[in-house]
Amino acid sequence: MSYPQPELRTVAVTRYGKPLREGGSLPALVEADDNFLYVLKFRGAGQGAKALIAELIAGEIARAVGLRVPEIVFANLDVAFGRTEPDEEIQDLLRASEGLNLALHYLSGSITFDPVINDVDARLASEIVWLDAFVMNVDRTARNTNMLMWHKELWLIDHGAALYVHHTGPDWPQLSLRPFTQIKDHVLLPQATELDAVDTAFRTILTPDRIRAIVSLIPDEWVMNESAEELRQVYAHFLESRIAASEVFVNAAKEARNARV
């Protein structure tokens, strides 16, 4: 079965609000021309466009399997913002990020997920652990959960640290079959008792066609020194190979859970 390319809206940033300094890449709260607030992720930040690619792919995969993720949009940043910002560090970041960036809808009034206070049932915990093992997300620990509670529901944010192997050099696609050992630190691992059932369900949803539809969202503007279409193919092949051998990362997660409990 083929899937149409998912559609992401494109907005124009109209007001730079404030930096969110708790994020390592210095994201910012901004307002766009649709009058909504967004958390803007900058192409010119430390990890560059690859962090935006990870945010885009992991976020849309999460949405495809039914997990809650704030709306992801492409966000155009005008050259004028870099000229008027008094903070030199932020000014440099704005200038390096002129053009197309990525933003997530700001969940006003949300609170950070607290594993001591907030309960997560076994199915949802297993779904999130499976997702993070699949996309190799190193950033969902007790110290930094990257989850929010909003209107009594759990929302996933900040996937820029996923697919970390694409920072390791040209041979990173060969790492698709690697178990995700960092899953041992996942904040929801103790509750993730339904990984086998989730694996069966998610493998059915994340077909090669659906994966390719998500990967096709990567903009040409984010690709440097290589063919954008070839790069999309690399990501698609990586994810397809990884899900075809999902028992590798599922078994690693189950072993890590057994060691913890």
Share of the chain above pLDDT 70, in %: 95
Say what the pLDDT of residue 193 is: 98
What is the average pLDDT across 129-151?
A: 96
Beta strands in the chain (DSSP E): 10-19, 28-32, 37-41, 72-77, 99-105, 111-112, 147-150, 153-156
Mean pLDDT, all residues of the chain: 93
Contact 100, 219 (CB under 8 A): yes
pLDDT band at 233 (very low <50, low <70, confident <90, very high): very high
CA distances from 204 to 125, 190, 195 (A): 19, 25, 14
User: Which residue carries 């999130």 as its tokens?
Assistant: 128
Q: Which residues have a Cβ under 8 Å from the Cβ of 185 and sit 6 or more positions away?
A: 141, 142
Residue 16 in this model has a pLDDT that exceeds 60: yes
CA distances from 68 to 55, 61, 155, 217 (A): 14, 11, 5, 19
C-alpha 234/C-alpha 254 separation (Å) is 28
C-alpha 215/C-alpha 48 separation (Å) is 18
Q: 1 versus 76: which is more confidently predicted?
A: 76
Contact 254, 133 (CB under 8 A): no
Residue 106 in this model has a pLDDT that exceeds 70: yes
Residue 21 in this model has a pLDDT that exceeds 80: no
pLDDT digits (tens, 9 = 90+) for 66-90: 999 999 999 999 988 767 677 888 8
What is the average pLDDT across 220-236?
A: 92
pLDDT band at 24 (very low <50, low <70, confident <90, very high): low
pLDDT band at 26 (very low <50, low <70, confident <90, very high): confident
Half-sphere exposure of 157 (CA within 13 A, CB side): 26
What is the average pLDDT across 175-185?
A: 96
148 strand-pairing partners: 112, 155
What is the average pLDDT across 189-197?
A: 98
Tell which residue, 72, 152, 141, 63, has the closest CA to residue 106: 72
Say what the pLDDT of residue 36 is: 98
Residue 171 in this model has a pLDDT that exceeds 60: yes
Say what the pLDDT of residue 7 is: 83
What is the average pLDDT across 141-150?
A: 95
Half-sphere exposure of 37 (CA within 13 A, CB side): 9
- The pTM assigned to this predicted structure is 0.94
Residue 23 in this model has a pLDDT that exceeds 60: no
pLDDT digits (tens, 9 = 90+) for 39-60: 999 999 988 999 999 999 999 9
Say what the pLDDT of residue 198 is: 98
CA distances from 63 to 71, 120, 147, 206, 253 (A): 9, 18, 14, 11, 21
